């Protein structure tokens, strides 16, 4: 399995809450339909109001990368206030 973690910083509390709500309502549904989908989670990091991270898990690197393009397009269209995320990706070695 392969994971993608996208961390968005510099958000106001209102923007973070809007992004979380919209991702739960819409993006999660879209990603669930993607080939190789395993999981999509959102993380509100302790001690930081202006940060949110998404964790996407797919069966393969190729499927994860394809989903990343879908997610990036969705964010540009639905959450234009979001900055470019810091991305971390890699194979899950324990799960």
CB of 68 closer than 8 Å to CB of 4: yes
Q: Which helix (H) or strand (E) holds 19?
A: helix 13-22
**What was the pLDDT predicted at 9?**
86
Hey, is 2 helix, strand or coil? strand
| Eight-class DSSP state of 66 | H
For residue 61, name the pLDDT band (cuts at 50, 70, 90). very high
73 or 10, which is more confident: 73
**What was the pLDDT predicted at 2?**
96
Strands 37-43 and 52-58: antiparallel
Quote the tokens at residue 53: 């991270």
Q: Mean pLDDT, to the nearest integer, of 25-35?
A: 93
Per-residue model confidence as pLDDT tens digits over 43-57: 887 777 778 899 999
């Amino acid at each position: 399995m392969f994971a993608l973690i996208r961390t968005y910083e510099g958000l106001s509390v209102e923007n973070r809450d809007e992004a979380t709500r919209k991702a739960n309502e819409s993006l999660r549904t879209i990603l669930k339909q993607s080939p190789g989908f395993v999981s999509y989670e959102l993380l509100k990091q302790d001690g930081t109001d202006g940060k949110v991270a998404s964790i996407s898990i797919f069966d393969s690197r190729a499927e994860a990368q394809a989903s990343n393009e879908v997610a990036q397009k969705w964010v540009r269209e639905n959450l234009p206030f979001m900055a470019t995320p810091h991305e971390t990706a890699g194979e899950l070695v324990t799960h």
